[in-house]
Amino acid sequence: MSHDPALEAHEHAEHAEHAAHESDPFIARVAITVAVLAVLAAAASSLETVEGGLAITASSEAVLRQDQATDAWNEYQADSLKKHLYLIASGEDKAHADEYRRTSKEQSDKQGSIKKRADEKEAERDTLTAESAVHERRHHWLTGAATLIEIGIALSTVAIITKRRTFWAAAVGLGLVGIALAAVAFA
């Protein structure tokens, strides 16, 4: 099997169509089951891929926001050092004391906006991390869903070959469980 969900669904549908041309109504029902399961598997696999990509994107964006927050905190600390150095200098150099105190206050005032920016970036990071976790959880559920549905397709093939209803019932059951897992992914 290829890893292209649309191609796989098309191939399964073609196999099901060929089997449906047999005169046995059981084979025709199983063939229809294969076609339906193939479409469901393709949908679950596509959604799984999308959710995986969204998880990676959100996680990467979270790392970027953390880097931006770290840069802001580094700037905040540098300004804090400058503020203290100017304050110390104001006590040592009486001729420029007022100028040094004014520069120290400017550094202190500047720190407020830098702290706000760092806090905002950390909040964005936390939001993106949570978003990534949601997409990752969905991805895992959809992986299980697609796997069960694909096993259902395989069991349908076995049902066609052996003409045993037990395999067909198991295939339908796995398909239903796969649908349930896909629904849980978005619950």
Q: What angle do CA 30, 31, 32 make, to 5 degrees?
A: 90
- End-to-end Cα separation, the chain, in angstroms: 30
**Per-residue DSSP letter, 94:** G
User: Taking the domains of the chain in order of start, what are their residue ranges?
Assistant: 5-185
Share of the chain above pLDDT 70, in %: 88
Q: What is the largest CA-CA distance in the chain?
A: 107
Look at residue 1 in the predicted model and tell me its pLDDT.
Answer: 46
Task: Please indicate, yes or no, whether the overall pTM of this predicted structure exceeds 0.85.
Answer: no
3-class DSSP state for residue 159?
helix
Q: 46-87 pLDDT, tens per residue?
A: 999 999 999 999 999 999 999 999 999 999 999 999 999 988
3-class DSSP state for residue 186?
coil
Question: Which residue type does 55 have?
Answer: A
pLDDT band at 139 (very low <50, low <70, confident <90, very high): very high
Look at residue 92 in the predicted model and tell me its pLDDT.
Answer: 87
Dist. CA 164–CA 158, nearest whole Å? 8
Residue 21 in this model has a pLDDT that exceeds 80: no
Dist. CA 113–CA 123, nearest whole Å? 15
